[in-house]
Amino acid sequence: VFEASSNGIVICDCDNRIKRVNAAFSGLTGFNSIELIGKNPNILGSGRHSLSFFEDMFLRLGSTGFWSGNIWNKTKSNELALHSVSINVVFSEKEEKTPLYYVATYQDITEQDRVGREALHRATHDPLTGFLNKKALIDGLSRQVSLCERHGNMLSVFFLDLDSFKPVNDTYGHEAGDFVLKIVAQRLQSLFRESDLL
């Protein structure tokens, strides 16, 4: 079962050192078993997770014996991969709360994540300018107004009108009008912060 599984499986000892990996895990990470055995799983660290992320993980493992979630890892070829990870603790029979092994299963969900993020972006952004669409802008603006009311902050809203835009479409066609909108969008994007809603 260990070798035949399509999910990557890694077994670590109580000191969090890798004892064994299956072929699917090597396939996911690019590392063979010789390169991994005896190492800490943080050899795959992407730097995308905070120390508190892993502290919470080990707290949950210690209290419930189980943790699952998504972890960004770095493969041997330095590519980022998003893995769905489930970890179970194998406790000592003599001392119930003493972990003997950690057994983790890994599944690559990088592509599903990319497709999901693209679908969300398409649902919330204008395809021409890349700015938030009307519904997403209203939702975002409502959240910002609520936050400002709660914390007593101020909020600025700018409305920009393009003078004589209709004649561009009428004279040169919609492709030219779309081009103008894209250029204006790019210039506006360069003027605002990433946290601003456009």
Cα(66)–Cα(89) distance, integer angstroms: 6
**Of 5, 6, 9, 1, which is closest to residue 33 (Cα–Cα)?**
9
pLDDT by residue for the chain (198 residues), tens digit each? 899 999 999 999 999 999 999 999 999 999 999 999 999 999 999 999 999 999 999 999 988 999 999 999 999 999 999 999 999 999 888 777 788 999 999 999 999 999 999 999 999 999 999 889 999 999 999 999 999 999 999 999 988 888 888 898 899 999 999 999 999 999 998 998 888 888
Question: Which one, of 106, 40, 95, 36, lies nearest residue 70 by Cα?
Answer: 106
Count the Cβ atoms, other than its own, within 10 Å of residue 147: 11
Q: Which of 163, 161, 158 is nearest to 197 (CA)?
A: 158
